[in-house]
Amino acid sequence: MCIGTIKGCEKKLIMSFLSLVVKNPFRNKTRSALAIVGISIGIIVIVALGMVTGGLENSTQSTLKAGAAEITVIQTGSSSFGSGGSLNESLASSLLNISGVKDTTGILRATNTSTTVSATTTNSSAGGFGAEGGVSITGIDASKLSLIGIDTVNGTEFTNTSTNQVIMGTTIAQSLNKTVGDTIDLYGKNFTITGTYETGNFITDAGIMMPLSTLQNLTNNPNKISDVLVKVTDNANVTTVSQSIENAYPNQLSTTTAADEANRINQGLSFINTASWAISLLAIFIGAVGVINTMIMSVYERTREIGVLKAVGWRDRRILGMILGESIVLTLLAFVIGTIVAVVGVELILTLSPSVGGIIKPSFAYDIFLRAFVVAFLVGVIGGLYPAYRASRLSPTEALRYE
Amino acid sequence: MNNENIIEIKGLKKSYDNGKIKALNGMDLEVKKGEFISIMGPSGSGKSSLLNMIGALDRADEGSIKVAGIDLMKTKKLYEFRSKEIGFVFQMHNLIPNLSVLENVQIPMFETKTSSKDMKKRALELLKAVNLEDKINQKPTKLSGGERQRVAIARALVNHPSIILADEPTGSLDSKTGEVILNLLKDLHSKENVTLVMVTHEPYVGQMAERIVTVLDGKCQNIIQPPKQDN
């Protein structure tokens, strides 16, 4: 410890303008802390909403993944995510005859609402997919998994002839605390998890895949499918092929392209983004008013001191820089605190709430943090500019007379 | 300008409040380089205004004022003049409370392009000269009134100024401490070879100077040569 002696205090003794700028804001700790809290709230909103919407955007991008089917064909009038079989299984091969279609596969979607999936977790919280919970199960040909976006499986794929094998998305696997080799109770029957997969699409990753025939038997939908996934040839136009399918089966089949789906989700995300910006701006505005107030008060209280600095030869520009710097120190500290709180908070919420965590994989893209940093910096500059200008324009004699 | 004069003031006028208050009303004054003068006079006579003009804290309305060879009526960079030529010692030490003693002394050097190492060296040298080398890391709030004023004196001398302007430097101190501070000022004035201009209203303090300048109604009334004191 350095107790006022010259020797041994070398590091502590060196003073710079920067250290003065960093020290000054904390002369009135309570006031500075309140200003920091105000700005931090804005930063928390920007970072947290950025991480969440960024995560959802990433998931949307995954629906456009190369190799996966570009078109989903359903019966006209039914939901694209609806359960149960309404189409004949033979439709998948019939669609191969349409120009531009490279590959097809029929899938059957079902929701298992049994409550015996896990001892600790009910199906209603599993994966977060399916209205009011329930595990989303898809029956599909093992050789056509790439069409649904599953390129690699950790473990092994199920065999099409098996009646007790499934593969599971990583999100639901984590949520149910299951791993390869574990069993899961579906429709009152034990299934072995032969593998897990991760596509990046939060819907797919929150589901379970099993052989099509097995699911058809379990749900009493023999030879029935709910959707046909269509992969187009390399040079074909997705919209044209999609239109050709609808034209070939008028009033019977409807099509949805992955791009349409992504656009729909993006529209929703765009709304969330706009809302988050509006909330952020409001929070930032309140924070900026707090910073201006803090800095003006600080300049008032230090009027005499500013007079002394002018008397000892400090130029106006240096005084302006000092006050502006102090304001930026406050907001950058708010950036650091706000970012930490946002990251920890989002992770905590997603961990404590598996139903939400199953859907959202937060994004840590640098631009989210950069945006928050720029906002914090600008608030510091804007909030500090007027008080700094005021301080720099003070008359030395008047400042020195200030009581 | 006489080469020996560091301050030359002729017919200096300064008024405030739209001319209602005439702080300086044709002030004439010459101070030789290395001289120690006291400026005395009643409240409102113009002592502090004169000091502010010499220290370039304010500009006069009329007349001429040359300090250290610089025409203060014309020069634009008053901050540069203050930084290089002037050291202020105020009645209320005016130290920055959240900075250490050493940091307070270093403050004026920020405008002088001095390296951190040299800043520290010079500040330590002066703190040693004012016998505060054992308190360099203390905050001013932990110091006595006399110690604070010693820090202020070190701060005033740190940029090797030509002139020290002291405005009632003992005004807030008891007589014993005041005497210590005056002796220190006088001692450093001769050691550092600086001109010392001190405003005071206390006759015994004024007596310590080589000349006493009496100011009344914004004018220099008379100049007295006090009898030599035995040290």
At A292-308, the pLDDT tens digits run 998 999 999 899 999 99
Residue B183 pLDDT: 85
- Of A164, A205, A276, which Cα lies nearest the Cα of A63? A205
Please indicate whether, in this complex, the C-beta atoms of A4 and B134 are within 8 angstroms of each other.
yes
- Residues in chain B with CB shorter than 8 Å from the CB of A25 are none
Q: Strand runs (DSSP E) across chain B, as ranges? A: 5-16, 21-32, 36-40, 62-67, 70-71, 86-89, 163-167, 195-199, 211-216, 219-224
Examine the pLDDT at B53 and tell me if it is beyond 90: yes
Residue among A13, A312, A315 minimizing CB distance to B102: A13
Please indicate whether, in this complex, the C-beta atoms of B120 and A14 are within 8 angstroms of each other.
yes
Question: DSSP letter string over A251-311?
Answer: TTEEEEEHHHHHHHHHHHHHHHHHHHHHHHHHHHHHHHHHHHHHHHHHHHHTHHHHHHHHH
Give the domain extent around B90.
34-44+80-224
Average pLDDT over residues B19-46: 90
Give the model's confidence band at A8: pLDDT under 50 very low, under 70 low, under 90 confident, else very high: very low
- In angstroms, the Cα distances linking B174 to A113, B140, B171, B179, B203 are 89, 18, 8, 9, 15
**What single-letter DSSP state applies at residue B56?**
T
**What single-letter DSSP state applies at residue B135?**
G
Residue A61 pLDDT: 65
Nearest-angstrom CA–CA distance, A86 and A108: 9
B14 touches chain A (CB under 8 A): no
Buried-exposed string A318-353: b where 16+ CB fall within 10 A, e elsewhere? bbbbbbbbbbbbbbbbbbebbbebbbeebeeebeee
Examine the pLDDT at A1 and tell me if it is beyond 60: no
Give the model's confidence band at A69: pLDDT under 50 very low, under 70 low, under 90 confident, else very high: confident
Average pLDDT over residues B45-72: 92
Range scoring the smallest mean pLDDT among A75-79, B30-34, B52-56: A75-79
Please indicate whether, in this complex, the C-beta atoms of A27 and B97 are within 8 angstroms of each other.
yes
Domain residue limits, chain A: 17-61+264-401, 77-250
- Of B216, B198, B219, B215, which Cα lies nearest the Cα of B27? B219
- Alpha carbons within 13 angstroms on the beta-carbon side of residue B128 total 8
Residue B67 pLDDT: 94
Shortest distance between the Cα of A393 and any Cα of chain B, in A, equals: 13
Question: DSSP letter string over A168-220?
Answer: EEHHHHHHHT--TT-EEEETTEEEEEEEEE--S-HHHHTEEEE-HHHHHHHTT
List the CATH number of the domain containing B197: 3.40.50.300
Higher pLDDT: A392 or A3? It is A392
Residue in chain A closest to B128 (alpha carbons) equals: A6
Q: Express each pLDDT in A196-251 by its tens digit.
A: 998 877 778 889 999 999 999 988 888 899 999 999 888 888 889 999 999 999 88
Average pLDDT over residues A92-108: 91
B102 touches chain A (CB under 8 A): yes
Q: If you average pLDDT over every residue of chain A, what do you get?
A: 83
Average pLDDT over residues A128-134: 45
In a domain, B2, yes or no: no
Shortest distance between the Cα of B58 and any Cα of chain A, in A, equals: 7
In a domain, B1, yes or no: no
Range scoring the smallest mean pLDDT among A80-89, B49-58, B160-169: A80-89
Q: Express each pLDDT in B71-121 by its tens digit.
A: 999 988 889 999 999 999 988 878 988 889 999 999 999 888 888 888 889
Examine the pLDDT at B21 and tell me if it is beyond 70: yes
- Alpha carbons within 13 angstroms on the beta-carbon side of residue A317 total 5
Interface size between A and B, measured as CB pairs under 8 A: 93
In a domain, B75, yes or no: no
Examine the pLDDT at A39 and tell me if it is beyond 70: yes
Please indicate whether, in this complex, the C-beta atoms of B79 and A3 are within 8 angstroms of each other.
no
Give the model's confidence band at B3: pLDDT under 50 very low, under 70 low, under 90 confident, else very high: low
Q: Express each pLDDT in A137-196 by its tens digit.
A: 999 999 999 888 898 899 999 999 888 999 999 888 888 888 999 999 888 889 999 999
Residue A11 pLDDT: 44
- Residues in chain B with CB shorter than 8 Å from the CB of A311 are 55, 57, 82, 86, 88
Examine the pLDDT at B184 and tell me if it is beyond 90: no
Residue in chain A closest to B103 (alpha carbons) equals: A15
Examine the pLDDT at A131 and tell me if it is beyond 50: no
In a domain, B169, yes or no: yes
Please indicate whether, in this complex, the C-beta atoms of A4 and B102 are within 8 angstroms of each other.
no
Please name the residues between 171 and 200 in chain B that touch chain A, using a CB distance below 8 Å: none
Examine the pLDDT at A121 and tell me if it is beyond 50: no
Shortest distance between the Cα of B113 and any Cα of chain A, in A, equals: 12
Residue A13 pLDDT: 43
Q: ipTM score here?
A: 0.89
Please indicate whether, in this complex, the C-beta atoms of A314 and B111 are within 8 angstroms of each other.
yes
Residue among A9, A307, A395 minimizing CB distance to B137: A9
Residue in chain B closest to A310 (alpha carbons) equals: B79
Nearest-angstrom CA–CA distance, B100 and A199: 60
| Count: domains in chain B | 1
Examine the pLDDT at A339 and tell me if it is beyond 50: yes
Residue among A23, A304, A397 minimizing CB distance to B94: A304
In a domain, B25, yes or no: no
Q: Left (φ > 0), alpha (ψ -120 to 50) or beta: where does A206 sit?
A: alpha
Q: If you average pLDDT over every residue of chain B, what do you get?
A: 87
Examine the pLDDT at A123 and tell me if it is beyond 50: no
Q: Is the dihedral of CA A205, A208, A210, A213 positive or negative?
A: negative
Q: Express each pLDDT in B126-139 by its tens digit.
A: 898 888 889 999 99
- CA B15 vs. chain centroid, Å, equals 22
Give the model's confidence band at A83: pLDDT under 50 very low, under 70 low, under 90 confident, else very high: low
Please indicate whether, in this complex, the C-beta atoms of A316 and B55 are within 8 angstroms of each other.
no
